[in-house]
Amino acid sequence: MSEARIADRVPAKIELEAGTYWWCRCGESKNQPFCDGSHRGTEFEPMRLTLEENRRVALCQCKRSDKMPHCDGSHRFLD
């Protein structure tokens, strides 16, 4: 599998309402951290994120987290 494009080197810290969201795995979306369909024709698929209640989240944008779609601080170790 190819490595995803690094969309940013900081997490997207945002307040989300309860519901379902599609997190971008490929890094190509113009609507980071969410999918806009830019992965079409690649091996990447977006990841579903379902929240049962409103909450603040830190979503990975470097696409290297071990806790995707959530940030685990992996961006601090990028070259």
Residue 53 is assigned to a structural domain of this protein:
yes
Report pLDDT for 75: 97
CA angle 32, 51, 54 (to 5 degrees): 90
Residue 36's contacts (CB-CB under 8 Å, 6 or more residues apart) are 24, 29, 30
Per-residue pLDDT averaged across 13-38, rounded?
A: 98
What is the domain extent for residue 64?
12-77
Report pLDDT for 1: 64
Distance CA 21, CA 49 (A): 5
Number of domains in the chain: 1
Residue 1 is assigned to a structural domain of this protein:
no
Q: What is the pLDDT of residues 35-59, one digit of tens each?
A: 999 999 999 999 999 999 999 999 9
What is the four-CA torsion angle of 71, 72, 75, 79, rounded to 10 degrees?
A: -150
